[in-house]
Amino acid sequence: MSRLSRRQFLASTMLTATALSSCQANNKTFSAKKVKDYALMCGADIVGITSMDRFEGIPKLLDPRNIFPEAKSMIVLGFRLLRGNFRGIEEGTFFSAYNIMGHEGVRWVFQPVTLWNFTKLIENEGYEAIPIPDNFPWSNIDNLNPDEIGTDFINVNPSTFGKIDGNFSRPVSEGKPYPDVFFQLKVAAFCAGLGEIGYSGTFLTPEFGPRQMFAAVITDAVLEPDPLFTGKLCEKDKCKMICVKDCPSHAISEKEMVKIKVAGKELEWARLDFNKCSVSFHGGDKEYNPFMVTTEDEKGFTEQPYTKSRRYKMPPVYWYGRAIEGMRGCQMACMIHLEEQKKLKNVFKTQFRQKAPWRMKGKLKSKAELEAIIKQPEEKRKKIDEQ
Protein backbone atom coordinates (compact mmCIF):
# COMPACT_ATOMS: atom_id res chain seq x y z
CA MET A 1 0.00 0.00 0.00
CA SER A 2 1.47 3.40 -1.01
CA ARG A 3 1.71 6.35 1.39
CA LEU A 4 -1.13 8.14 -0.42
CA SER A 5 -3.48 5.16 -0.42
CA ARG A 6 -2.74 4.61 3.29
CA ARG A 7 -3.75 8.18 4.02
CA GLN A 8 -6.90 7.74 1.99
CA PHE A 9 -7.67 4.55 3.87
CA LEU A 10 -7.21 6.20 7.27
CA ALA A 11 -9.33 9.18 6.22
CA SER A 12 -12.05 6.86 5.03
CA THR A 13 -11.96 4.92 8.31
CA MET A 14 -12.24 8.12 10.33
CA LEU A 15 -15.20 9.30 8.25
CA THR A 16 -16.93 5.95 8.72
CA ALA A 17 -16.37 6.03 12.49
CA THR A 18 -17.63 9.62 12.67
CA ALA A 19 -20.73 8.77 10.67
CA LEU A 20 -21.45 5.74 12.85
CA SER A 21 -20.97 7.74 16.03
CA SER A 22 -23.30 10.42 14.72
CA CYS A 23 -25.91 7.82 13.80
CA GLN A 24 -25.75 6.30 17.26
CA ALA A 25 -26.13 9.69 18.91
CA ASN A 26 -29.17 10.57 16.85
CA ASN A 27 -31.81 8.07 17.99
CA LYS A 28 -34.36 9.57 15.62
CA THR A 29 -32.60 7.94 12.68
CA PHE A 30 -33.32 4.50 14.12
CA SER A 31 -36.99 3.84 13.52
CA ALA A 32 -39.29 0.85 13.10
CA LYS A 33 -39.50 1.65 9.38
CA LYS A 34 -35.72 1.61 9.02
CA VAL A 35 -35.54 -1.73 10.82
CA LYS A 36 -38.24 -3.28 8.64
CA ASP A 37 -36.77 -1.97 5.39
CA TYR A 38 -33.39 -3.39 6.30
CA ALA A 39 -34.88 -6.76 7.29
CA LEU A 40 -36.51 -7.03 3.88
CA MET A 41 -33.29 -6.00 2.17
CA CYS A 42 -31.41 -8.72 4.07
CA GLY A 43 -33.76 -11.42 2.79
CA ALA A 44 -36.88 -11.57 4.96
CA ASP A 45 -40.21 -11.66 3.11
CA ILE A 46 -42.32 -10.13 5.88
CA VAL A 47 -41.43 -8.44 9.16
CA GLY A 48 -43.26 -7.25 12.26
CA ILE A 49 -42.36 -5.77 15.63
CA THR A 50 -43.72 -6.46 19.10
CA SER A 51 -43.03 -4.95 22.49
CA MET A 52 -41.90 -7.45 25.10
CA ASP A 53 -44.81 -6.80 27.46
CA ARG A 54 -47.12 -8.67 25.09
CA PHE A 55 -45.54 -11.93 26.34
CA GLU A 56 -46.88 -11.41 29.86
CA GLY A 57 -48.34 -14.63 31.26
CA ILE A 58 -46.25 -17.03 29.14
CA PRO A 59 -44.66 -19.90 31.19
CA LYS A 60 -41.02 -19.31 32.19
CA LEU A 61 -39.58 -21.92 29.84
CA LEU A 62 -41.43 -20.29 26.93
CA ASP A 63 -40.94 -16.62 27.84
CA PRO A 64 -38.35 -14.83 25.62
CA ARG A 65 -37.97 -12.14 28.26
CA ASN A 66 -35.94 -14.62 30.29
CA ILE A 67 -33.35 -14.59 27.50
CA PHE A 68 -32.87 -10.81 27.70
CA PRO A 69 -34.72 -9.21 30.64
CA GLU A 70 -33.73 -5.68 29.57
CA ALA A 71 -35.10 -6.14 26.05
CA LYS A 72 -37.74 -3.68 24.88
CA SER A 73 -38.62 -5.04 21.45
CA MET A 74 -38.68 -8.17 19.34
CA ILE A 75 -38.42 -8.07 15.57
CA VAL A 76 -40.01 -11.11 13.90
CA LEU A 77 -38.86 -11.99 10.39
CA GLY A 78 -40.92 -14.26 8.12
CA PHE A 79 -39.36 -16.40 5.38
CA ARG A 80 -41.63 -17.85 2.73
CA LEU A 81 -41.65 -21.53 1.87
CA LEU A 82 -41.69 -21.58 -1.90
CA ARG A 83 -44.87 -22.96 -3.37
CA GLY A 84 -42.71 -24.95 -5.78
CA ASN A 85 -41.25 -26.92 -2.86
CA PHE A 86 -44.58 -28.76 -2.69
CA ARG A 87 -44.83 -29.49 -6.42
CA GLY A 88 -42.74 -32.66 -6.51
CA ILE A 89 -44.67 -34.08 -3.54
CA GLU A 90 -47.97 -33.17 -5.19
CA GLU A 91 -46.87 -35.07 -8.31
CA GLY A 92 -45.28 -37.89 -6.28
CA THR A 93 -42.01 -37.58 -8.16
CA PHE A 94 -39.57 -35.35 -6.22
CA PHE A 95 -39.47 -35.19 -2.43
CA SER A 96 -36.18 -33.56 -1.43
CA ALA A 97 -36.98 -29.94 -2.37
CA TYR A 98 -39.29 -29.43 0.61
CA ASN A 99 -36.44 -30.20 2.99
CA ILE A 100 -33.36 -28.87 1.23
CA MET A 101 -34.84 -25.74 -0.36
CA GLY A 102 -37.71 -25.42 2.10
CA HIS A 103 -38.16 -26.26 5.73
CA GLU A 104 -34.61 -27.17 6.72
CA GLY A 105 -32.78 -25.11 4.12
CA VAL A 106 -34.50 -22.06 5.56
CA ARG A 107 -33.95 -23.15 9.15
CA TRP A 108 -30.26 -24.04 9.00
CA VAL A 109 -28.93 -21.97 6.09
CA PHE A 110 -30.98 -18.98 4.97
CA GLN A 111 -32.25 -17.75 8.34
CA PRO A 112 -28.83 -17.67 10.06
CA VAL A 113 -27.18 -15.84 7.16
CA THR A 114 -29.99 -13.28 7.04
CA LEU A 115 -29.86 -12.77 10.80
CA TRP A 116 -26.08 -12.28 10.79
CA ASN A 117 -26.45 -9.41 8.36
CA PHE A 118 -29.59 -7.96 9.92
CA THR A 119 -28.34 -7.79 13.50
CA LYS A 120 -25.30 -5.79 12.36
CA LEU A 121 -27.60 -2.83 11.72
CA ILE A 122 -28.86 -2.90 15.29
CA GLU A 123 -25.36 -3.26 16.74
CA ASN A 124 -24.13 -0.40 14.55
CA GLU A 125 -26.81 1.74 16.13
CA GLY A 126 -25.43 0.91 19.57
CA TYR A 127 -28.10 -1.56 20.67
CA GLU A 128 -27.69 -5.17 21.70
CA ALA A 129 -29.46 -7.77 19.59
CA ILE A 130 -29.94 -11.52 20.01
CA PRO A 131 -30.58 -13.37 16.71
CA ILE A 132 -32.80 -16.44 17.12
CA PRO A 133 -33.44 -18.65 14.06
CA ASP A 134 -36.08 -21.36 14.09
CA ASN A 135 -33.93 -24.00 15.73
CA PHE A 136 -33.67 -24.86 19.41
CA PRO A 137 -31.27 -27.84 19.60
CA TRP A 138 -30.51 -27.44 23.33
CA SER A 139 -33.95 -26.41 24.53
CA ASN A 140 -35.15 -27.90 27.78
CA ILE A 141 -38.63 -28.66 26.49
CA ASP A 142 -38.86 -32.22 27.75
CA ASN A 143 -41.18 -31.28 30.59
CA LEU A 144 -43.63 -29.58 28.24
CA ASN A 145 -46.58 -31.32 26.65
CA PRO A 146 -46.83 -30.55 22.91
CA ASP A 147 -50.55 -31.28 23.06
CA GLU A 148 -50.87 -28.30 25.39
CA ILE A 149 -48.98 -25.75 23.29
CA GLY A 150 -49.27 -27.01 19.74
CA THR A 151 -46.79 -28.11 17.10
CA ASP A 152 -43.10 -27.19 16.60
CA PHE A 153 -41.95 -30.27 18.53
CA ILE A 154 -40.95 -32.59 15.70
CA ASN A 155 -37.40 -32.92 17.08
CA VAL A 156 -37.98 -33.49 20.78
CA ASN A 157 -36.18 -36.38 22.43
CA PRO A 158 -38.76 -39.16 22.96
CA SER A 159 -36.58 -40.96 25.52
CA THR A 160 -36.83 -38.04 27.95
CA PHE A 161 -40.05 -36.46 26.73
CA GLY A 162 -42.37 -35.46 29.54
CA LYS A 163 -39.69 -35.94 32.19
CA ILE A 164 -37.32 -33.58 33.94
CA ASP A 165 -34.79 -35.16 36.27
CA GLY A 166 -32.04 -32.53 36.42
CA ASN A 167 -29.63 -34.49 34.23
CA PHE A 168 -30.03 -32.25 31.19
CA SER A 169 -29.63 -28.84 32.85
CA ARG A 170 -30.32 -26.92 36.04
CA PRO A 171 -31.22 -23.27 36.77
CA VAL A 172 -28.23 -21.02 37.41
CA SER A 173 -30.05 -19.34 40.30
CA GLU A 174 -33.35 -19.46 42.15
CA GLY A 175 -36.27 -18.13 40.11
CA LYS A 176 -34.62 -18.65 36.73
CA PRO A 177 -35.87 -21.26 34.25
CA TYR A 178 -33.90 -24.27 33.11
CA PRO A 179 -31.70 -23.49 30.08
CA ASP A 180 -32.17 -23.33 27.14
CA VAL A 181 -35.38 -21.31 27.05
CA PHE A 182 -37.69 -22.29 24.21
CA PHE A 183 -40.38 -19.99 22.87
CA GLN A 184 -42.81 -20.56 20.05
CA LEU A 185 -42.07 -18.36 17.08
CA LYS A 186 -45.68 -18.59 15.91
CA VAL A 187 -46.74 -16.90 19.16
CA ALA A 188 -44.07 -14.26 18.57
CA ALA A 189 -45.39 -13.76 15.02
CA PHE A 190 -48.89 -13.23 16.41
CA CYS A 191 -47.59 -10.67 18.91
CA ALA A 192 -45.81 -8.88 16.03
CA GLY A 193 -49.05 -8.56 14.07
CA LEU A 194 -48.04 -10.81 11.18
CA GLY A 195 -51.15 -12.98 11.12
CA GLU A 196 -53.07 -15.59 13.08
CA ILE A 197 -52.76 -19.15 14.31
CA GLY A 198 -55.05 -21.39 12.26
CA TYR A 199 -57.22 -24.26 13.48
CA SER A 200 -54.44 -26.82 12.85
CA GLY A 201 -51.97 -24.81 14.94
CA THR A 202 -50.11 -23.63 11.82
CA PHE A 203 -49.45 -19.91 11.57
CA LEU A 204 -51.21 -18.11 8.69
CA THR A 205 -50.27 -14.79 7.12
CA PRO A 206 -52.23 -12.72 4.57
CA GLU A 207 -49.21 -12.90 2.27
CA PHE A 208 -48.49 -16.64 2.12
CA GLY A 209 -51.09 -18.45 4.22
CA PRO A 210 -49.28 -21.37 5.92
CA ARG A 211 -46.17 -21.08 3.73
CA GLN A 212 -43.58 -19.46 5.97
CA MET A 213 -41.17 -19.92 8.85
CA PHE A 214 -40.08 -17.33 11.38
CA ALA A 215 -36.98 -16.05 13.11
CA ALA A 216 -36.67 -13.35 15.75
CA VAL A 217 -34.29 -10.71 17.05
CA ILE A 218 -34.60 -9.50 20.64
CA THR A 219 -33.18 -6.04 21.31
CA ASP A 220 -33.03 -3.31 23.94
CA ALA A 221 -33.95 -0.72 21.29
CA VAL A 222 -37.37 0.83 21.78
CA LEU A 223 -39.26 0.35 18.51
CA GLU A 224 -42.87 1.11 17.69
CA PRO A 225 -44.83 -2.19 17.82
CA ASP A 226 -47.20 -3.25 15.07
CA PRO A 227 -50.90 -3.61 15.83
CA LEU A 228 -52.20 -7.14 16.24
CA PHE A 229 -53.68 -8.78 13.15
CA THR A 230 -57.45 -8.30 13.05
CA GLY A 231 -58.29 -10.12 9.82
CA LYS A 232 -59.74 -13.62 9.50
CA LEU A 233 -57.95 -16.16 7.35
CA CYS A 234 -58.96 -19.43 9.01
CA GLU A 235 -62.70 -19.99 8.71
CA LYS A 236 -63.36 -23.63 9.51
CA ASP A 237 -67.02 -23.34 8.53
CA LYS A 238 -66.03 -22.42 4.97
CA CYS A 239 -63.19 -24.89 4.53
CA LYS A 240 -65.08 -27.60 6.48
CA MET A 241 -61.90 -28.29 8.48
CA ILE A 242 -59.98 -29.55 5.48
CA CYS A 243 -56.75 -29.55 7.49
CA VAL A 244 -58.29 -32.24 9.73
CA LYS A 245 -59.69 -34.29 6.84
CA ASP A 246 -56.51 -34.21 4.73
CA CYS A 247 -54.10 -35.06 7.56
CA PRO A 248 -53.00 -38.64 6.71
CA SER A 249 -52.41 -39.55 10.36
CA HIS A 250 -55.60 -37.92 11.68
CA ALA A 251 -53.42 -36.15 14.23
CA ILE A 252 -55.45 -32.91 14.35
CA SER A 253 -58.38 -33.13 16.72
CA GLU A 254 -61.87 -32.24 15.48
CA LYS A 255 -63.12 -31.19 18.92
CA GLU A 256 -60.38 -30.80 21.55
CA MET A 257 -58.81 -27.36 21.66
CA VAL A 258 -55.69 -25.77 23.14
CA LYS A 259 -56.16 -22.33 24.66
CA ILE A 260 -53.62 -19.73 25.71
CA LYS A 261 -53.70 -16.04 26.55
CA VAL A 262 -51.08 -13.76 25.01
CA ALA A 263 -50.97 -10.05 24.22
CA GLY A 264 -54.27 -9.71 26.06
CA LYS A 265 -56.00 -12.05 23.60
CA GLU A 266 -57.43 -15.54 23.97
CA LEU A 267 -56.00 -17.87 21.31
CA GLU A 268 -57.02 -21.41 20.54
CA TRP A 269 -56.23 -24.16 18.06
CA ALA A 270 -56.80 -27.89 17.72
CA ARG A 271 -55.03 -30.36 19.95
CA LEU A 272 -52.34 -32.30 18.09
CA ASP A 273 -51.60 -35.98 18.64
CA PHE A 274 -47.83 -35.71 18.51
CA ASN A 275 -47.11 -39.43 18.16
CA LYS A 276 -49.44 -39.82 15.17
CA CYS A 277 -48.06 -36.67 13.55
CA SER A 278 -44.41 -37.65 13.95
CA VAL A 279 -44.88 -41.12 12.44
CA SER A 280 -46.80 -39.85 9.41
CA PHE A 281 -44.56 -36.83 8.89
CA HIS A 282 -41.48 -39.02 8.53
CA GLY A 283 -43.11 -41.47 6.12
CA GLY A 284 -44.97 -43.92 8.31
CA ASP A 285 -48.19 -43.85 6.26
CA LYS A 286 -47.93 -46.36 3.42
CA GLU A 287 -50.60 -44.60 1.35
CA TYR A 288 -48.37 -41.52 1.08
CA ASN A 289 -44.89 -43.00 1.01
CA PRO A 290 -43.68 -44.33 -2.35
CA PHE A 291 -40.36 -45.25 -0.71
CA MET A 292 -42.17 -47.87 1.37
CA VAL A 293 -41.83 -50.84 -0.98
CA THR A 294 -41.69 -53.93 1.23
CA THR A 295 -43.15 -55.11 4.52
CA GLU A 296 -39.65 -54.65 5.96
CA ASP A 297 -39.85 -51.01 4.87
CA GLU A 298 -43.16 -50.60 6.67
CA LYS A 299 -41.55 -51.77 9.89
CA GLY A 300 -38.52 -49.54 9.35
CA PHE A 301 -40.56 -46.39 8.61
CA THR A 302 -42.79 -46.85 11.67
CA GLU A 303 -40.30 -48.09 14.28
CA GLN A 304 -40.56 -46.34 17.64
CA PRO A 305 -39.19 -44.15 18.99
CA TYR A 306 -39.53 -42.22 15.75
CA THR A 307 -35.92 -40.99 16.03
CA LYS A 308 -35.05 -44.49 14.79
CA SER A 309 -37.65 -44.60 12.03
CA ARG A 310 -36.70 -41.18 10.65
CA ARG A 311 -33.21 -42.53 9.90
CA TYR A 312 -34.51 -45.55 8.05
CA LYS A 313 -33.60 -45.83 4.35
CA MET A 314 -33.43 -42.04 3.82
CA PRO A 315 -31.19 -40.24 6.33
CA PRO A 316 -32.04 -36.81 7.77
CA VAL A 317 -31.08 -33.70 5.81
CA TYR A 318 -29.63 -30.86 7.91
CA TRP A 319 -30.15 -33.06 11.00
CA TYR A 320 -33.84 -33.26 10.18
CA GLY A 321 -36.13 -36.09 9.15
CA ARG A 322 -37.86 -36.11 5.78
CA ALA A 323 -41.34 -34.65 5.31
CA ILE A 324 -42.54 -37.41 2.99
CA GLU A 325 -46.26 -36.89 3.61
CA GLY A 326 -45.78 -33.26 2.58
CA MET A 327 -47.71 -31.60 5.43
CA ARG A 328 -50.86 -32.52 3.47
CA GLY A 329 -53.39 -31.26 5.97
CA CYS A 330 -51.84 -28.39 7.91
CA GLN A 331 -50.00 -26.80 4.96
CA MET A 332 -50.96 -28.13 1.52
CA ALA A 333 -54.73 -28.39 2.02
CA CYS A 334 -54.84 -25.05 3.81
CA MET A 335 -52.74 -23.35 1.13
CA ILE A 336 -54.97 -24.68 -1.65
CA HIS A 337 -58.14 -23.53 0.11
CA LEU A 338 -56.86 -20.03 0.89
CA GLU A 339 -55.69 -19.59 -2.70
CA GLU A 340 -59.09 -20.70 -4.02
CA GLN A 341 -60.77 -18.21 -1.67
CA LYS A 342 -58.43 -15.48 -3.01
CA LYS A 343 -57.39 -14.57 0.50
CA LEU A 344 -53.64 -14.37 -0.12
CA LYS A 345 -51.52 -11.55 -1.52
CA ASN A 346 -49.00 -13.92 -3.11
CA VAL A 347 -51.07 -14.77 -6.21
CA PHE A 348 -50.18 -17.32 -8.91
CA LYS A 349 -51.28 -17.55 -12.53
CA THR A 350 -52.38 -21.18 -12.18
CA GLN A 351 -54.02 -23.10 -9.37
CA PHE A 352 -51.81 -25.49 -7.43
CA ARG A 353 -53.85 -28.69 -7.61
CA GLN A 354 -54.48 -29.75 -11.20
CA LYS A 355 -55.70 -33.31 -10.63
CA ALA A 356 -56.92 -35.65 -7.91
CA PRO A 357 -54.19 -36.28 -5.30
CA TRP A 358 -52.38 -39.60 -5.54
CA ARG A 359 -52.42 -42.47 -3.06
CA MET A 360 -50.37 -45.65 -3.05
CA LYS A 361 -52.45 -48.79 -3.64
CA GLY A 362 -51.91 -52.50 -3.30
CA LYS A 363 -50.44 -54.69 -0.58
CA LEU A 364 -46.78 -54.52 0.32
CA LYS A 365 -44.64 -57.52 -0.50
CA SER A 366 -41.82 -58.94 1.57
CA LYS A 367 -38.29 -58.35 0.40
CA ALA A 368 -37.98 -62.02 -0.56
CA GLU A 369 -41.21 -61.88 -2.60
CA LEU A 370 -40.03 -58.75 -4.37
CA GLU A 371 -36.66 -60.28 -5.23
CA ALA A 372 -38.41 -63.34 -6.63
CA ILE A 373 -40.58 -61.15 -8.87
CA ILE A 374 -37.54 -59.25 -10.12
CA LYS A 375 -35.98 -62.53 -11.24
CA GLN A 376 -39.05 -63.42 -13.33
CA PRO A 377 -39.00 -62.86 -17.13
CA GLU A 378 -40.08 -59.35 -18.14
CA GLU A 379 -43.50 -60.32 -19.52
CA LYS A 380 -44.46 -62.25 -16.40
CA ARG A 381 -43.16 -59.45 -14.19
CA LYS A 382 -45.43 -56.95 -15.96
CA LYS A 383 -48.49 -59.13 -15.35
CA ILE A 384 -47.63 -59.40 -11.67
CA ASP A 385 -47.17 -55.63 -11.43
CA GLU A 386 -50.55 -55.07 -13.11
CA GLN A 387 -52.22 -57.33 -10.57
Annotate 300-309 with b (16+ C-beta within 10 A) or e (fewer): bbbbeebbeb
Q: Are 339 and 209 in contact (CB under 8 A)?
A: yes
pLDDT at 385: 64
Which pLDDT score, from 0 to 100, does residue 211 have?
Answer: 97
- Please, which contacts does 22-28 make with residues 24 or more away whose CB atoms are closer than 8 Å? 23/124, 23/125, 24/124, 24/125, 24/126
CA 197, CA 200: separation in Å to the nearest integer?
8
Full pLDDT tens readout for the chain, 387 residues: 334 444 543 444 444 344 334 434 444 568 999 999 999 999 999 999 999 999 998 888 889 999 999 999 999 999 999 999 999 999 999 999 998 899 889 998 999 999 999 999 999 999 999 999 998 777 766 555 544 443 344 455 545 554 566 777 889 999 898 888 888 899 999 999 999 999 999 999 999 999 999 999 999 999 999 999 999 999 988 999 999 999 998 999 999 998 889 999 999 999 988 778 888 888 999 999 999 999 999 999 988 766 678 788 988 777 766 889 889 999 999 999 999 999 999 999 999 999 999 999 989 989 898 888 777 776 665 665 666
The confidence score (pLDDT) of residue 138 equals 75
Q: Annotate 354-365 with b (16+ C-beta within 10 A) or e (fewer).
A: eeebeeeeeeeb
Bridge partner list, 385: none
pLDDT at 148: 43
Q: What is the pTM (predicted TM-score) of this model?
A: 0.85
